[in-house]
Chain A
Amino acid sequence: METATPNYLLIIGGVLFVMLNVAALLIWVERRGLALLQDRYGPNRAGPFGLLIVAADSIKLFFKQDWIPPFADKPVFILAPAIVVVTVLMSFVVIPFAPGIVVADLNIGLLFFLAMSSMGAYSIILGGWASNNKYSLLGAMRGAAQMISYEVFMGLSLMGVVLMAGSFNLSTIVEAQRGLWFVVPQIIGFVIFFIAGIAETHRLPFDVPEAESELVAGFHSEYSGMKFGMFFIGEYMGITLISCMMVVLFFGGWLGPDFLPPIVWFILKTAFFLGIFILLRASMPRPRYDQLMEYGWKYLLPLTLLNLVVTAGALLWLNDGYR
């Protein structure tokens, strides 16, 4: 929005600062949350409730030897972790956190997000390839196949929302939900987007590129120090991003009753989905890689297409009721 121009730098700085800290905080939240669910304590020594474990971890990662395996492809090896952080951070550019709090209110916001998340697949492929390690290679192969497949459904599942809002602009999409959150008419789209989102962030149950018990650490087996930290932070920012997107596209973004400011609604809704991600990790086993692909292509894709056709049909039937 043009009115936001004066605060431009402030917003960019704010978003960057908040997102990096949220990702760090999320690591703590997840470790404590998982511990709570698994009858143990989790990190509770550093600082109040173990909060400073994040600081301790980052200091440790920063001061570790910057090790590149001699057999690795150096430039690509260094580039790969940067890609994941950059693409995720770039995606936050288009997210409207509240009226006026958005870095770039692009008319093609949704497409920009999809493009960026596709770029993210490169970090896995390049990272796994450059490591020159068989576990990494297997992880990268799995990761590439999984992300490319699930991107198809991810994009298509959102088209219902676009049809209903009549725009790719995320702020417009949020405004279009004033009457009814899109999760109600687009429930199928939401479920598929959610599943594809887990696959995009390769979290349990879709963590086959990492698959600890099979591939040790999958595509980032050879990474250590801050380069590993980038993958790590990238993963948590990815979760935050998907949660934000779910809120924006299906749960009315900042919209909510007036007793709380819009930004608080947005944060609360996002936090809820972050919790779901952690809960999922605590409870689900991991399907096999080919089962995952089968599930995607055989069930999700037809369902997405069906959803798209039905939405389009219904809109025509209702004679453009939403516009």
Chain B
Amino acid sequence: MNNNSGILEQLRSRYGEDTFKTQTTKDDILTLWLPVDHVPEVLKFLKHDLPQPFLLLFDLTAIDERTRKPENGHIPYSFTLIYHLFSFERNTFIRLKAGLREDFPKAPSISGLWQNANWYEREVYDMFGIRFEGHPHLSRILMPRTWVGHPLRKEHPARATEMGPFQLYDDKIDLEQSALQFKPEEWGLAKQSDDTDFMFLNIGPQHPGTHGVLRIILQLDGEDIVDAIPDIGFHHRGAEKMGERQSWHTYIPYTDRVDYLGGVMNNLAYLQAVEKLAGIEVPERVKYIRVMLCELFRIASHLVWYGTFAQDVGQLSPVFYMFTDREKIFDIIEGICGGRMHPNWFRIGGVAQDMPKGWEQLVQRFIDYFPKRLKEYDAMVMKNSIFKARTVGIGIFTKEEAIEWGVTGPNLRACGFEWDFRKMRPYSGYEMFDFEVPTASNGDCYDRAVVRVAEMRQSLRIIEQCVKNMPSGPYKSDHPITTPPIKQNTMHDIETLITHFLGVTWGPVIPPGEAMSCIEATKGANGYYLTSDGNTSPYRVRIRTPSFPHMQMLPYITRGYTVADLLSILGAMDYVLADIDR
């Protein structure tokens, strides 16, 4: 994993000894501080000139540092920009940080360097008010255009009760009304070309084909798409802001709702980072339980995608069969967790409860039942010639384009790139399981479907191994920060009683530091980048979701296709609105 040797030496020899300061973090990612004006050229070097380059801009975000306790020895900037890059060849992350000093600072844009930096920079601008110079279209992306303020700045209240009562004055009504007027120029769209007038069609925010509140502005010439612009943010609930006011423990249910089809898999991504910060090693049994539930949710999520995708191309029935099967998975989840879509089941250092009696039969019944159904679906959907006509050769992108746009997960594997974080950077004990990483070769909508269908079979294999090899042992780790802590220790001495009491009432205190986790979620790479200043709640929660960059790529892959193809492309993309907007 630590294949980043030599990078720092090369950087220092190129840009001077004092340009880079290193920082040690809990997640062992090489973390470098550098002056902000060096950012573009250093990133360019890392992307283009370094041997085994960092091709993927994994994440770009910022932190408002102004209320941080100064004693942690960190450099007193007002804001920090954080770039996470990933190198497939080295199989390693690198984290670059650039401090900014003003209250409304400026930074150079890297949108010319990576295609997917565009939206990330807009998001940072929207959330923090940091301006990126040289950005082609720096406007709000998640918040409404009429919004005042930047929500992730620390002076912005996290609760409505901290703000005055909401009032809608007449002039505000007028402002909001006029903001609803559609002006193509504001979106960078031309009204006409040399020979035709374009038609503008709003797909959404309420539309049966968008699977949620998403608006896509289409610029049409007849039925051919000239340009498409996704307008996101309708589902933005401030999940990152909420993290700053919840305790480390009580934030877990919020993660469930980020990729709301992925259920506990979101818990895992978050807890991986928390446990790195706290230094908790979870017992073997916990790993197995977590893996099994995650894989059940992967199948459930893929089933929703499968059914709705078939429905998007006009097939009415499969969605009902697939939801019936998903219901069977939920029966298992309910038997184990009590909850269904958002079980909120994983805990810091373990899971909420031990497995119930008889869970093996429950899961085994599904393992025996499901492969037959998958075969049936193959005949019904994947082999259907109209389905093929609608999806083969539609929405193609290559492996290079995918990486440039930050595409991960099944969509990347459909381009023929065998990259699965479960395999390449195993977490939560995935190295103990025997499974394959399905790929396809063409990178079109059909291949994305092929990969997902094959993944369901592999997930089933992993679940089967969980049932066979489930180790015995405790279901939470014996660590003081485990929440809720192991009760029996409290009966022996006052020290553990007090820790237990505090951990349960205030919530656990996580030692200062920062860590990022990255898991292979249902839709791609999901990462939580957590910063702790040694408090009962995170200083900053950054959620890197796969759907956000996927949606950003939409205009690039829909141009030149028709409205009907757009639905195939959207369906094959497999996004969830909450996963885009958070």
- CB–CB A286/B562 < 8 A: no
Are A38 and B314 touching (Cβ within 8 A)?
A: no
Query: Counting CB contacts under 8 A, is A45 at the interface?
Result: no
B313–A286 touching, CB < 8 Å: yes
Q: Mark B173-208, 1 if CB is under 8 A from A, else 0.
A: 000000000000000000000000001110000011
Of A216, A284, A291, the contact of B207 (CB 8 Å cutoff): A216
Q: Indicate if A289 sits at the interface (CB-CB under 8 A).
A: yes
Number of interface residues of B (CB under 8 A): 30
The reply to whether A213 and B312 form a contact with Cβ atoms under 8 Å apart is: yes
When the two chains form the complex, which single residue of A215, A284, A288 contacts B565, counting CB atoms closer than 8 Å? A288
B389 touches A213 (CB 8 A): no
In the complex, how many angstroms separate the beta carbon of B6 from the nearest chain A beta carbon?
52
How many angstroms between the C-alpha atoms of A301 and B180 in the bound complex?
A: 48
**Residues of A close to B563: CB separation below 8 A:** 138, 214-215
Within 8 A of B (CB), among A181-212: 204-205, 207-208, 211-212
Instruction: Say which one of B133-141, B316-324, B448-456, B532-540 lies at the interface with A.
Output: B316-324
Q: Is A287 an interface residue (CB 8 A)?
A: yes
Known: A39-B321, A214-B209, A288-B389. A282 touches B311 (CB 8 A): no
A214–B321 contact, CB under 8 A? no
Query: Do A38 and B320 form a contact, CB below 8 Å, given A285-B390, A286-B314, A291-B389?
Result: yes
* A135 CB contacts on chain B under 8 angstroms: 201
A323 within 8 A of B: no
A39 CB to closest chain B CB (Å) equals 6
Are A38 and B317 in contact (CB-based, < 8 A)?
yes
Q: Which of B310, B389, B564 contacts A214 (CB 8 A)?
A: B564
**B310 to chain A: closest residue by CB:** A285
Residues of B within 8 A of A216 (CB): 207-208
Q: A213-B311, A213-B567, A214-B564 are in contact. Are A287 and B390 (CB under 8 A)?
A: yes
Contact A285 B384 (CB under 8 A): yes
Q: Which of A40, A213, A282, A289 is within 8 Å of B208, CB to CB?
A: A213
Contact A39 B320 (CB under 8 A): yes
| Nearest chain A CB to B2 CB, angstrom units | 48
The complex places the Cα of A86 from the Cα of B317 at a distance, in Å, of 32
Considering the complex, give the chain B residue whose CB is closest to the CB of A282: B317
How far does the alpha carbon of A204 sit from the alpha carbon of B310 in the complex, in Å? 13
Known A138-B563, A287-B386; judge A212-B223 contact (CB<8 A). no
Binary A-proximity of B203-244 (CB < 8 A = 1, otherwise 0): 000011100000000000001000000000000000000000
Tell me, yes or no, whether B501 is within 8 Å of chain A by CB.
no
In this complex, what residue of B is CB-closest to A289? B564
A134 closest partner in B (C-beta): B201
Bound state CA distance, A37 and B321, in angstroms? 10
Residues from chain A with a CB closer than 8 A to the CB of B209 are 213-214
Flag if A284 contacts B314 (CB, 8 Å).
Answer: yes
Q: With A286-B386, A287-B389 in contact, do A38 and B316 touch (Cβ < 8 Å)?
A: yes
A215 to B209, CA, bound (A): 9
A290 close to B562 (CB less than 8 A): yes
From A37, A134, A207, A215, give the contact of B317 (CB < 8 A): A37
- Complex Cα spacing A34 to B317, Å: 8
Q: At the interface, yes or no: B427 with Cβ under 8 Å from chain A?
A: no
Query: Which of B310, B566, B567 has most chain A Cβ within 10 Å?
Result: B567
- B223 contacts across to A, CB distance below 8 A: 138, 141, 289
Rounded to whole angstroms, the CA-CA distance of A285 and B386 in the bound complex is 6
Query: For residue A215, which residues in chain B have a CB less than 8 angstroms away from its CB?
Result: 563
B433 at the interface (CB under 8 A from A): no
**Which residues between 126 and 182 of chain B lie within 8 Å of chain A, taking CB atoms?**
none
- Map CB proximity to A onto B369-384 as digits: 1 under 8 Å, 0 otherwise: 0000000000010001
Q: Quick one: closest B residue to A291, CB to CB?
A: B389
The distance from the CB of B340 to the nearest CB of chain A, in whole angstroms, is 19
By a CB distance below 8 angstroms, the chain B residues around A207 are: 314
Contact with B along A10-36 (1 / 0, CB 8 A): 000000000000000000000000100
Interface status of B490 (Cβ within 8 A of chain A): no
> Is B435 an interface residue, CB under 8 A from the partner?
no
- B315: Cβ under 8 A from any A Cβ: yes
A149 shortest CB reach to chain B, Å: 16
Nearest-neighbour CB distance to chain B for A37, whole angstroms, equals 6
Interface of chain B residues 355 through 403 with chain A (CB within 8 A): 380, 384, 386-387, 389-390
User: Which residues of A, 209-249, contact B by the 8 Å Cβ criterion?
Assistant: 211-216
The CA of A281 and the CA of B563, in the complex, are separated in Å by: 22
Identify the interface centre among B201, B316, B386: most chain A CB within 10 Å of its CB: B316
The CA of A207 and the CA of B312, in the complex, are separated in Å by: 13
B321-A289 in contact (CB<8A): no
B540-582 CB contact bits vs A (8 Å, 1 = yes)? 0000000000000000000000111111000000000000000
Residues of B within 8 A of A40 (CB): 320
Judging by beta carbons under 8 Å apart, are A288 and B562 in contact? yes
Query: Do A288 and B315 have beta carbons less than 8 Å apart?
Result: no
Closest to A208 in B: B564
B320 in contact with A285 (CB, 8 Å): no
Closest to B199 in A: A134
Who on chain A is nearest to B314 by CB?
A: A286
Asked if A107 is at the interface of the complex by the 8 Å CB criterion, the answer is no
Docked pose: A287 CA to B568 CA in angstroms: 11
Select one of A134, A141, A281, A288 contacting B564, CB under 8 A.
Answer: A288
Do the beta carbons of A38 and B207 come within 8 Å of each other? no
CA distance A39 to B317 in the complex (A): 9
* CA gap between A214 and B310 in the complex, in Å: 13
Nearest A residue to B565 by beta-carbon distance? A288
State whether A212 touches B313 (Cβ < 8 A).
no
Residue A283 at the chain B interface, CB threshold 8 Å:
yes
A284 x B324 contact (CB < 8 A): no
Write out the residue numbers on chain A whose beta carbons fall within 8 Å of the beta carbon of B321: 38-39
User: Which of chain B's residues has its CB closest to A206's CB?
Assistant: B314
Task: Give the docked Cα–Cα distance between A286 and B316 (Å).
Answer: 10
Give the residues from 33 to 63 in chain A that come closer than 8 angstroms, CB to CB, to chain B: 34, 37-40
Known: A213-B209, A287-B386. A204 touches B314 (CB 8 A): yes
Query: Which residues in B have their C-beta under 8 angstroms from that of A205?
Result: 314, 386
The distance from the CB of A290 to the nearest CB of chain B, in whole angstroms, is 7
Contact A214 B320 (CB under 8 A): no
Looking at the complex, which one of A34, A141, A287 makes contact with B316 (CB distance below 8 Å)? A34
The answer to whether A212 and B208 touch (CB under 8 A), given A37-B317, A284-B315, is yes
In the complex, which residues of chain A have a beta carbon less than 8 angstroms from the beta carbon of B564? 208, 211, 214, 288-289
The 3 nearest A-B residue pairs measured at CB: A286-B314, A285-B315, A38-B320
Supply 5 A–B pairs (Cβ within 8 Å), ascending by A: A39-B321, A214-B563, A214-B566, A216-B208, A285-B387
Task: Given contact pairs A38-B316, A216-B207, A287-B386, enumerate 10 new A-B contacts (beta carbons under 8 Å).
Answer: A38-B321, A39-B321, A134-B200, A205-B314, A212-B208, A213-B313, A285-B315, A285-B390, A286-B315, A288-B565
